[in-house]
Amino acid sequence: VRIALYQPDIAQNVGTVLRLAACWDIAVDIIEPCGFPFNDRKMRRAGMDYLDDVDLVRHSSWQAFLDYHEGRRLVLLTTKAAGNYCEFAYEEADILLLGRESAGVPDAVHDRADARLVSPMKEGMRSINMAMSAGVVLAEGLRQLGVLSAFNR
Ligand SMILES: C[S@@+](CC[C@H](N)C(=O)[O-])C[C@H]1O[C@@H](n2cnc3c(N)ncnc32)[C@H](O)[C@@H]1O
C-alpha cells in the first residue's frame, strides 16, 4: 500500500504523513503543486530526520501521477464516500489517495478513483485532519495485510 497526497497545502500535515510512512515503511506520492515550498521548515519540523527514510515520489501533475502508476487501484479517502474504510478489502498494490486540506479533490479525480472510502464521523462533523485520516485508514489496510504484525513489536 502507498499513500498519495493530492496537492497538499499544509506543510506540517505532509511532514506528519512522511514520518508515519518512514515508520511503517510506506512509499508516498506527492501530486504537485503543493501549497508551500517543498522543503518548507514546517514540513521538516513535523517530519524531522524521518524524512530521510521515506521512499518519496513527486509528480508534476495529476496526469503524470496516473501515468506513473498505470494499472494500480486508486482508493480515494473522502468525506463524500459511502464505503466505510473498515469494510473494505485492501490489496498490496493499492494507493490510498488523500485530498487537499482546503478543498479535497476535484470531481474528475473523485470520479477516476476505483474506490471511495469514508472514515465515519459523528453527525455534524465536517472532516478529519488529512494526516490523521491517512493514519487511520492506512493502519486498517496494513492490519488486514499483516504488515504491522510483521514488525513484531
Ligand atoms: C480536511 S479534508 C478536506 C476537506 C474539504 N473541505 C472537502 O470537502 O473535501 C482533507 C482530506 O482528508 C481526508 N479526509 C478527511 N476526513 C475524512 C473522512 N472522514 N473520511 C475519509 N477521508 C477524510 C480526505 O482525503 C480529504 O480530502
Nine-digit cell string for 47: 517530519
Sign of CA dihedral 56, 61, 67, 69: positive
Note the pTM of the prediction, 2 decimals.
Answer: 0.96
Pocket residues: Cβ below 6 A from ligand 1: 77-79, 98-99, 101, 103-104, 118-119, 121, 127-128, 130, 133
Residue 57: what pLDDT?
A: 97
User: pLDDT digit of tens for each residue in the chain (153 aa)?
Assistant: 999 999 999 999 999 999 999 999 999 999 999 998 888 888 899 889 999 999 999 999 999 999 999 999 999 999 997 899 999 999 999 999 999 999 999 999 999 999 999 999 999 999 999 999 999 999 999 999 999 888 876
Residue 149: what pLDDT?
A: 86
Beta bridge partners of 118: 84
Whether residue 82 contacts residue 118, with contact meaning beta carbons closer than 8 Å, is answered with: yes
